[in-house]
Chain A
């Protein structure tokens, strides 16, 4: 294997399980000049708020940020589709010189008159932080004039990492939460947080909770509605998935409204069941809920077990690499792949924190490579070294895996297949199976001992 150079500043971001343990360095800015797979603050805010379907999402800046995020996620809405449009103030050179506040004001007023949204989010891009437009005051003025909440999102790209964008989004949401009525809110109610309804996943989860006898108040933010978010502070529990993106809001709501939260994952049989049991356990004063949960879990697992076994037989012993945005996702993924008999030999994330990596280290077998904020050279090197059969990642990793002759499964936005819940596990197994066992690999140079041009 050709060796690659790893800068000494990055050496502590890569750990080989089995070596003497050290604390993986993480949550640092990527080194300048790195080919990182990460994005920016704006990207974080945009993906979190994007699924709120009856809100207006106006991007204040030059055109690019709006173009690249036009209909960017497969976050489904059962009703309005306003979120899938792309609105931009499309700032030009003279706006950069004289300021874009006037343009922003006019654009907002025009859009609100045209679409009658229930709220508007205004995203600040890099340039706004430099030219100093006071978007807060513009939003306030428009809100007064038009009588809907107009919320500034301080997502200037350079002001941190994607995680800071999640935080900015949570802060915008926090302004909405608590502004609606919570009359008639039941004793057994919860909010689903950090679930974006990619391929309808939130609907699956909501159905589970309803079967358990629980009332789902709001989903943050999959198939999201402004009104539900406004009234979301009447629940007894916040159930937080994808902890990176929504934990901040859950904490705010705990502090402000005394709503406790628990962290869950809906991916894989093990974590899905644990999520439902944890929630049932929270409402343990009602024995019916736990009873219904047990029934639900039993039935669901029974329904999918035969098929899982079928896939497991063939996938057993195959090796997987995972590279995800938030590390929390990696934990579920490792368990789910183990359910299929597969072994994870490379695990990495763009934004994991110290605790995440500790847990990851404890979960993984000896020899597993754990990496923070990896570049494609590192990813491809370890994939080949570890003889990986499957790569689980996002849009930028797919062609790299294919070039190497490795199967691929998208676990990010670039998919139409639901991976959450029990049925999602079947979909996941099917996708992994079809990619790993694809007949195309018989032609792949990697399997045939190298390509000769």
Chain B
């Protein structure tokens, strides 16, 4: 019933978004900031913003999500939020004692024109920031970009505030993982460890948002990149940024600030993109790819071979964030599926260009859009149905209305548990995606087959 409110006929809508395929910048900044060890993200705005961000992140990761707020009042909105932020900084260091506060703005504080560097400077001068503690900031107006932009901006702030060149380059390589799950960050670090390449990953939410049950409530869990590590990124021999939109800006900033050369790659989702990542890492570090990785790649290839007969020209509709979708589309095309509707809520010209190129040889019309909403996505599916849907939690409505198999992929996933423990990146993540796809397709065949046809033969 829910999405039966979607009409088939597509009409241009300029002033209206229905069922968004995006959300606002600050939540991305909050997620990125949680990837710094001992960091309390701080929302400089009304109380509701951070309550929503914390709730959404909590519902996705099923972990306590900590953040503070400037609790704007009417007064603050008229006279500026300086006194709120100063008081907040003071209170936070007194009660919660983080190593660092990462402040992001909101539409409210941006519009009234609060100057964060000036306020943070004032906090420094007036002794509100204890010795050895830090306050950093990112500007994340909600009316510009999307949650991905917010993630990118806060990641870049880590470079702007901390990266320092010590003059001589270390062996270390920086990896900026993009907005992926903690399990993905772990997987990327594991691959680097297999190659024996020392890396600094930032942000890094492993062990922050997929922590163990300890019987204790840790406001600041064990994981996260440390400030010393962030400082050292300026002396690394290179940076690999995964996902241009989420990680590109920080990588370029490192290059400009500390002359650390960077390679901006696609997220390593699927065999081709993972090959490019491993290859870039190998070249940058000057190491050989060990057998263990070759075997993993071979296993992925083996599984694709076992499954390929079932993938042939199956139509798929994808909705999500640009970095994820570029790699995922490439992966699906490489296993002979046909992604025919690909939509992101984040406006990005490069996205449309890349997807167009990747899908150029598909023998079917392909719908591609950036900066659009789930209503349009649903309309596409209505007008040209598919065999499989992939996207975040909200796609479940479309899946039910159109009776199409559905795999949860991306952010947020609110109605399932476990996604933050299994990677979808690199070779092993590829195997997991394939297992999910085949299961969804086969379950559907089983469900729909007659009693006579229902059997064990694939």
Q: Which A residues contact B (CB, under 8 angstroms)?
A: 4-7, 29-43, 61-71, 81-82, 84-93, 95-96, 102-104, 106-107, 110-111, 114-115, 125-127, 129-131, 157-161, 375-377, 380, 395-396, 398-400, 402-405, 414, 444-448, 450-451, 453
Q: Which one of B2, B70, B216 has the greatest number of beta carbons of chain A within 10 Å?
A: B216
Q: Could you list some 5 contacts between A and B, CB below 8 A?
A: A107-B15, A111-B16, A157-B46, A403-B211, A445-B213
Interface check B185, CB cutoff 8 A = no
Is A127 a contact of B73 with CB atoms below 8 Å? no
Is B62 a contact of A158 with CB atoms below 8 Å? no
Partner of B96, one of A35, A82, A159, A447: A35
Which residues on the A side are within 8 Å of B216 (C-beta)?
Answer: 403-404, 445, 451
Is A396 a contact of B215 with CB atoms below 8 Å? no
Beyond A30-B47, A63-B20, A92-B143, whether A376 also contacts B74 by CB under 8 A is no
Which residues on the A side are within 8 Å of B77 (C-beta)?
Answer: 126, 129-130, 158
Which residues on the B side are within 8 Å of A446 (C-beta)?
Answer: 215
In the complex, how many angstroms separate the beta carbon of A387 from the nearest chain B beta carbon? 12
Question: Please, how many angstroms separate the alpha-carbon atoms of A103 and B5 in the complex?
Answer: 22
Beyond A31-B91, A399-B58, whether A39 also contacts B142 by CB under 8 A is no
In the complex, how many angstroms separate the beta carbon of B281 from the nearest chain A beta carbon? 30
Which residues on the B side are within 8 Å of A40 (C-beta)?
Answer: 46-49, 51
Q: Which B residues contact A (CB, under 8 angstroms)?
A: 1-5, 7, 13-20, 22-24, 26-27, 40, 42, 45-49, 51-56, 58-59, 62-74, 76-77, 84-85, 87-92, 94-96, 106-108, 111-112, 141-144, 146, 211-219, 222, 394
Beyond A35-B68, A67-B24, whether A87 also contacts B16 by CB under 8 A is yes
Partner of B88, one of A33, A43, A444: A33
Is B215 a contact of A444 with CB atoms below 8 Å? yes
Partner of B111, one of A127, A377, A399, A404: A127
Is B215 a contact of A86 with CB atoms below 8 Å? no
Question: Please, how many angstroms separate the alpha-carbon atoms of A111 and B412 in the complex?
Answer: 26
Measured CB to CB, the nearest residue on chain B to A90 is: B17
Partner of A403, one of B3, B64, B96: B64
Partner of A396, one of B17, B58, B72, B87: B58
Measured CB to CB, the nearest residue on chain A to B47 is: A40
Measured CB to CB, the nearest residue on chain A to B76 is: A158
Beyond A126-B107, A127-B107, A396-B55, whether A90 also contacts B71 by CB under 8 A is no
Is B95 a contact of A103 with CB atoms below 8 Å? no
Question: Please, how many angstroms separate the alpha-carbon atoms of A402 and B164 in the complex?
Answer: 40
Measured CB to CB, the nearest residue on chain B to A380 is: B217
Question: Please, how many angstroms separate the alpha-carbon atoms of A376 and B73 in the complex?
Answer: 23
Question: Please, how many angstroms separate the alpha-carbon atoms of A102 and B14 in the complex?
Answer: 11
Question: Please, how many angstroms separate the alpha-carbon atoms of A49 and B12 in the complex?
Answer: 29
Which residues on the A side are within 8 Å of B108 (C-beta)?
Answer: 126-127, 130, 157-158
Measured CB to CB, the nearest residue on chain A to B7 is: A114
Measured CB to CB, the nearest residue on chain B to A400 is: B64
Partner of A405, one of B4, B14, B63, B215: B215
Question: Please, how many angstroms separate the alpha-carbon atoms of A29 and B108 in the complex?
Answer: 18
**What are the 8 closest A-B residue pairs judged by CB atoms, nearest first?**
A40-B48, A64-B24, A33-B88, A445-B215, A33-B91, A446-B215, A380-B217, A157-B46
Is A64 a contact of B52 with CB atoms below 8 Å? yes
Q: Which one of B15, B17, B58, B68 has the greatest number of beta carbons of chain A within 10 Å?
A: B15
Which residues on the B side are within 8 Å of A32 (C-beta)?
Answer: 69-71, 84-85, 87-88, 91
Is A34 a contact of B68 with CB atoms below 8 Å? yes
Which residues on the A side are within 8 Å of B40 (C-beta)?
Answer: 35
Measured CB to CB, the nearest residue on chain A to B101 is: A33
Is B47 a contact of A5 with CB atoms below 8 Å? no
Question: Please, how many angstroms separate the alpha-carbon atoms of A138 and B74 in the complex?
Answer: 24
In the complex, how many angstroms separate the beta carbon of A102 from the nearest chain B beta carbon? 8
In the complex, how many angstroms separate the beta carbon of A50 from the nearest chain B beta carbon? 14
Beyond A33-B91, A67-B22, whether A96 also contacts B143 by CB under 8 A is yes
Question: Please, how many angstroms separate the alpha-carbon atoms of A450 and B215 in the complex?
Answer: 7
In the complex, how many angstroms separate the beta carbon of A173 from the nearest chain B beta carbon? 21
In the complex, how many angstroms separate the beta carbon of B26 from the nearest chain A beta carbon? 7
Question: Please, how many angstroms separate the alpha-carbon atoms of A430 and B89 in the complex?
Answer: 44
Which residues on the A side are within 8 Å of B53 (C-beta)?
Answer: 68
Beyond A33-B88, A92-B143, A107-B15, whether A39 also contacts B48 by CB under 8 A is yes
Partner of A376, one of B42, B45, B217: B217
Measured CB to CB, the nearest residue on chain A to B142 is: A62
Which residues on the B side are within 8 Å of A34 (C-beta)?
Answer: 68-69, 71, 91, 95
Is A29 a contact of B62 with CB atoms below 8 Å? no
Which residues on the B side are within 8 Å of A4 (C-beta)?
Answer: 95
Measured CB to CB, the nearest residue on chain A to B89 is: A33
Q: Which one of B58, B92, B217 has the greatest number of beta carbons of chain A within 10 Å?
A: B217
Is A67 a contact of B20 with CB atoms below 8 Å? yes
Question: Please, how many angstroms separate the alpha-carbon atoms of A67 and B25 in the complex?
Answer: 12
In the complex, how many angstroms separate the beta carbon of B243 from the nearest chain A beta carbon? 21
Which residues on the B side are within 8 Å of A111 (C-beta)?
Answer: 16
Which residues on the B side are within 8 Å of A31 (C-beta)?
Answer: 71, 87, 91
